[in-house]
Amino acid sequence: MPTSAKPDSQRWLHAPPSVNTVRVRIIDSTGNLAIPATVFLEPAGKGHELLNGTTSCFLIENERLGKRAVFDLGLRKDWWNLAPKLRESLGQMAVSIKVDTDVAEVLQNAGVSLDQINDIIWSHAHLDHTGDTSRFPSGTTLNYGKGIAALKPGYPDQLDSQLLTSDFAGRPNREIDFGKSTLKIGGFPAVDFYDDGSFYLLDTPGHAAGHLCGLARVTASHEGQGRDTFVLFGGDVCHFSGMLRPSQTRPLSKANFPGASLRVADIVDLNALLKRHSHFPPSSATSTADSSNPVLDTPWCSVSTAEYSAYEDPVTAQATLNQFREAFDEADNVFVALAHDNNLLLKDGGKSVLPTLNDSPQQDINGWYEKGWKDKLHWSWLGELGKEDKYGNIKPMEPHVVGYWKNGKKYDSAAEILHQVEQQETSAA
């Protein structure tokens, strides 16, 4: 059943109707990781050798019920205290690592007491999403998808575990059971988290065990807009917006580009840009006026199928991503917020485009539709690609953060930090 009538020119998400909404605020987790792009996507063209991954988390508030939840916790500030198996892997893979503040600190600095957080929701159990749950009171429930419980009890109780005992211990744990729900949204199994139609969790497999997305209803028809609008927390359904875009609904043609998009002002030759499309030879970019040319509507890149891919099941992950694109990213009433979309934290003229809890604690993103933020950020991912000079040379991607950071000090390698930690652990044993 559609949420409301829509003009023929628009695509609208079909979701169960409800008058209930949640308030959504973005949390900049302050984490910065630079990792080779081939871990996440293919092909990784020139100028896209790295993915500079910030991580956005989300504060969700059901004001009617007086409930608050945090969706993902980012990378813990003291990343060197991850389980040994995991910190070694991170140190070997990452080109740079820096985390300034734990999400718990961001909440407290914004005047949100941790006692007010009823739930933590992990999109999945990877290190840049699990954060440090031990910072939260024992009354805060940890929610996760299918298969995560098998990772218990965690290190040090289980020496080869990738998670910590403290991630789970001392609080209620809840596995989201999609088998008990007959609800589907966008073709994905869904659970009504608050049982009032304001916030749903979606089963989105492929990247990691128990991967979840969150769908927040942020305006409802009764509020005067005549439509329902949503924010979709994408987790790691993909790691770069160019894995979703362009699409058949919004091709990379002169009619659509640049539109209102920010960060693309220096892209003046669309044909030259299309010659860099990862999936096609340069000769394919013959005309942006030919609407049948697949270079215009094929996503820039796909899920990595490399042996070292970050996706546990790349085939399933790509199928999930294709369905996700059609159901949500192409829907005009859904704002897609991927965990590692750097453009959620984009600044324009020195000012953040979207408000964050860090800088504007009282401002939410519920009004994204009226403010046109979806259109403003739709093509901004193109600004992350290496710049091309007048001779056709493409500048290699550089890490946003240089070095490996611990307690405000920069090190040249992660191995230096981990060696210190291992020595301290040996001395304490």
Within a domain: 12: no
Measuring CA to CA, which residue among 197, 156, 166 is closest to residue 3? 197
68, 136 Cβ separation under 8 angstroms: no
Domain count, the chain: 1
Tokens 């875009």, residue located:
245
240, 344 Cβ separation under 8 angstroms: no
Kindly report, residue by residue over 132-177, the tens digit of the pLDDT: 999 999 999 999 999 999 999 999 999 999 999 999 999 999 999 9
15, 3 Cβ separation under 8 angstroms: yes
> For residue 223, which phi and psi values (nearest 5 degrees)?
-85, 5
Residue 329 domain boundaries:
23-245+312-392+394-406
Residues 6+ apart with CB under 8 A from 23: 60, 61, 63, 218, 364, 366
pLDDT of residue 5: 41
What single-letter amino acid sits at 259? G
Backbone region of residue 224 per phi and psi (left: phi > 0; alpha: psi in -120 to 50; beta: other values): left
Tokens in use for 215?
């769908």
Within a domain: 88: yes
52, 36 Cβ separation under 8 angstroms: no
Within a domain: 424: no
- What are the residues facing 231 on neighbouring strands? 216, 335
Kindly report, residue by residue over 6-59, the tens digit of the pLDDT: 444 568 898 899 999 999 999 999 999 999 999 999 999 899 999 998 999 999
Within a domain: 294: no
Within a domain: 321: yes
Tokens in use for 81?
């205290």
Within a domain: 361: yes
Beta strands (DSSP E) in 50-108 are: 50-62, 67-71, 96-99
pLDDT of residue 265: 75
Tens-binned pLDDT, residue by residue, of the chain (429 aa): 333 344 445 688 988 999 999 999 999 999 999 999 999 999 998 999 999 989 999 999 999 999 999 999 999 999 999 999 999 999 999 999 999 999 999 999 999 999 999 999 999 999 999 999 999 999 999 999 999 999 999 999 999 999 999 999 999 999 999 998 999 999 999 999 999 999 999 999 999 999 999 999 999 976 545 579 999 999 999 999 999 999 999 999 888 888 888 888 778 788 888 888 888 887 776 655 566 788 899 999 999 999 999 999 999 999 999 999 999 999 999 999 999 999 999 998 888 999 999 999 999 999 999 999 999 999 999 999 988 888 888 999 999 999 999 999 999 999 999 999 999 988 886
CATH, residue 339 = 3.60.15.10
138, 225 Cβ separation under 8 angstroms: no
Count Cβ atoms below 10 Å from residue 230 Cβ, excluding itself: 26
SS3 content of the chain, % helix, strand, coil (to 5): 25, 25, 50
Count of CA atoms in the C-beta half-sphere (13 A) of 263: 23
Per-residue 3-state assignment (H helix, E strand, C coil) for 360-422: CCCCCCCCHHHHCHHHHHCCHHHHHCCCECCCCCECCCCCCCCCEEECCEEECCHHHHHHHHH
CA 211 to chain centre: 12
**Preceding amide of 7 cis, omega within 30:** no
Tokens in use for 150?
């098998």
Tokens in use for 328?
């949500």
50, 250 Cβ separation under 8 angstroms: no
CA–CA dist 333, 187 (Å, integer): 17
B/e letters for 15-33, b = 16+ CB within 10 Å, e = fewer, are beebebbbbbbbbbbbbbb
Within a domain: 265: no
Whole-Å CA distances, 92 to 35, 226, 388, 411: 10, 51, 30, 14
Within a domain: 95: yes
